[in-house]
Every structure is written in C-alpha cells, then in structure tokens.
Amino acid sequence: MKKNYAKLSLALHKKLHGKISISTKTKIDDREDLAVVYTPGVGAVSSAIAKDERLADVMTWRKNAVAIVSDGSAVLGLGNIGAAAALPVMEGKSAIFKRFTNIDAVPLVLATQDTDEIVRIVQALEPSFGAIQLEDISAPRCFEIEERLSKSLKIPVMHDDQHGTAIVVLGGILNAMKVTKRNIKASVKIVVNGAGAAGVAIAKLLLAAGFKHVVVCDRKGAIYAGRPGMNPSKVALASITNPEKKSGSLDSVIQGADIFVGVSGPGLLTADMVKSMAPKSIVFGLANPIPEIMPDAAKAAGAAIVASGRSDMPNQLNNALVYPGLFRGMLDKGIKRVDDRIKLRAALALSGFVKKPTAEKIIPSIFDKGLHQAIARSVK
C-alpha cells in the first residue's frame, strides 16, 4: 500500500516542532567553561577579528554557514504562499545540508517581496555567512536579486531553483543521451516547457554545454525573437534560443523533438505529444508534486527514458542531488562567485558518478555514498 506522505509529514513536523535545531560544539558545564565560551574570554576573539576580519573564517562558524533566503513567493508547486509557509521547506533544505555535507544552514524567510528590500537585507547579512542560497523567489524578480547580490557580495550567491535544477537536468540529459546513443549535442532538439526561474537557467546552461537547438515555451507557446508582449527576461532568452524562430503552442513545437524538459505544471504534456517526438525520446516531467506527464504514461507513449522530480519514482531529478556538495566545495575553496564553469563541472561530476547509465538509472540517488564529495571536488 502506498504511504500517505502528506499525513506522515504533517505528523512529523507537529511532533518535532520542525526539523532542525542548534547544538554546541563544546561543553558548558561550569563557570570556567562559560568564561572561555563567553565573557571574558570571547572578548579576545572579537578583538582579534576586529584587527583582521579574515579570522572570522577560522574562529567562528562563518566558513561553514549558509543562509537559505526566501520570500515565499514561489514555493514548490504551491505558488505565492508567503514567508511563514515557506519555512518548513527551508528547514528541509537546512536538514539536507547538514545530513549530507555537515554544513550549518539557516532558514531565513523574509516578510517582504520587494526586490530592493530583499537585496538590502541579504547584503546586511553577509558578515554572518560564508554563502547565500536563494530559494523559492518568483521570476523575473529572482534574476535581478541574484545578479545584484552576486555583484555586491564577496561570498557566493546561488538561486538554487535556477542553477541547482539546471545542473541536475544537464547531468541527466548527458546520461540519457548515452543510453539512447545520441552523440552530437549540436544536433539534439530540446524543448523546455516553462519560462520561470528553472526554465531560463536550464536553457542557458544547455547552451553553455554546447546544445544548439533549444526552444523554450511559456503559457503562450514558443518564445522567439520578436514575439510581442514579452518581459525583459524573455526578450533576452529569445535572443539566444530557438534559432529557427519556431512559433506556436507546445503540441506543435514538440513534434520531432529529442528531449522534453518540463518545469511548468501538471498534465501539460499529453501522450499524443510524446508520440510526436523523435524515436527513443527523452521526457523529463519535473513539475511537483504532479508532473507534466506521469512516467508510466510517457513510457506507454513511446518515451525511452523518463524522469520526474518526485522522490517516490525512479530517475528523480532533484536539485538536492547537487547543492549540498556544490556549496561544500565553494565554502572549502573560497569561491566568491558561481559561474558557468562551476555549474558545468558539477553536471559532469553528477553524470559521471553513474558509471553505466541505463534507462532506469541515469542519475545517482542522493543517498549514494561519495556523491556529494564528488560534487564538492568538482569545484575549482
């Protein structure tokens, strides 16, 4: 019998009052312990850091601390549900960081969705953390927020919904191509459905990896240069994707495509659409909790390889495969900014971790021993 994960999760969170807590690294059993941990001893530590701020990286938790920042405007597939409702998701991210890479991650949900205010708040937090993970912030605001913070902070900033997802998708595609014997990136035709944070980042990373034929669709159909009524992020996307300027709805654009990547909504890909794709098609339906098409339906329609974002199905493409190791590597190696080279190496490390990919296993499991360490080593 299939478990009721929603019911189990509600019970767990209520029983434990959340998933994370703070613990100390040293004993505080008497006044002598307190005098070393706190006053008067700690004054010497503060004075040393005041003379050389770099000492904060070796005398405080900063070098191992990540702030997970969200405004609750795009939480999972639930939409703009607000900061408080986003907190359990951010706690989950924190728990994953700690479990797999021993990073101390703090969930910070903000009672504002104003771009300028979010940027100012995160800038003010910089002295306390070694890196910033932006999470569940809606597009197109997320693009500006990440760009401004990346330029103004001296620590790495990454919007995980964008880049973590893009890295995992690229890693999955590379192995799916091996299984279906597609050897030339430039000839592969890819359709990305969804032009939000994840869709834009996926398209850009695919281009950076050498793919040439990438078409992104939104609710109005294919995005192409000159299409009226697009916001600035879509105008920019149109200038680098869809070189043939295909137009029309998803059901027309997907005909003959080799790969479908869905980061949109439930049920948007039909069996007939899958049947119209190229032979041995690759279908990634990543909408959560209900994908664009259920894996069984996609396979019945002829897809050779199917993946989803659900943890209860094979070939789960989830950004949790990447971000723990990626941040571990960035913290350890003093990375200041996340660029395409870091993302591409992480995708190669992810795909390369599966030595003999098959249709049922194109991507590792988050629990595979050594995975997160391999991602961390890829950071240079």
Question: pLDDT tens-digit profile of 172-220?
Answer: 999 999 999 998 898 999 999 999 989 999 999 999 999 999 999 999 9
Radius of gyration of the chain, Cα coordinates, nearest whole angstrom: 22
The CATH code that applies to domain 5-160 is 3.40.50.10380
CATH class of the domain comprising 161-380: alpha beta
Catalytic one of 14, 19, 25, 93: 93
What pLDDT does 19 receive? 87
Q: What kind and span of H or E run contains 84?
A: helix 83-101
Query: In the prediction, which pLDDT does 159 show?
Result: 95
> Where is average pLDDT lowest: 20-34, 168-182, 293-307?
20-34
* Domain chopping of the chain, boundaries: 5-160, 161-380
Band (pLDDT 50/70/90 cuts) for residue 13 is confident
Cβ distance 89 to 118 under 8 Å?
A: no
pLDDT grade, residue 249 (50/70/90)? Answer: very high
Amino acid at 194: G
Per-residue confidence (pLDDT) for residue 68, from 0 to 100: 98
Average pLDDT of the residues of the chain: 94
Which entry of 5, 38, 275, 336 is annotated as an active-site residue? 38
Please report the pLDDT score of residue 108 as a whole number. 98
Task: Return the number of other C-beta atoms located less than 10 Å from residue 213's C-beta.
Answer: 20
Contacts of 95 (CB under 8 A, 6+ apart): 19, 20
Phi/psi for 357 (5° steps) reads -65, 145
**224: annotated active-site residue:** no
Mention every residue, 6+ apart, whose C-beta is less than 8 A from residue 331: 63, 64, 66, 103, 130, 131
Q: Is residue 314 very low, low, confident or very high in pLDDT (cuts 50, 70, 90)? A: confident
The residue whose two tokens read 């599966």 is 354
Q: How confident is the model at residue 14 (pLDDT cuts 50, 70, 90)?
A: confident
Mean pLDDT within 10-21: 86
Which pLDDT score, from 0 to 100, does residue 9 have? 84
CA distance 71 to 359: 38
What's the pLDDT tens digit per position in 46-76? 999 999 999 999 999 999 999 999 999 999 8
Percent residues over pLDDT 70 in the chain: 100
What letter would DSSP give residue 264?
S
pLDDT of residue 1: 60
What is the tens place of the pLDDT at every residue in 333-368?
999 999 999 999 999 999 999 999 999 999 999 999
Q: Does the active-site annotation cover 5?
A: no
Distances (CA, A) of 192 to 49, 72, 115, 249, 346: 48, 25, 27, 12, 21
CB 105 within 8 A of CB 65: yes
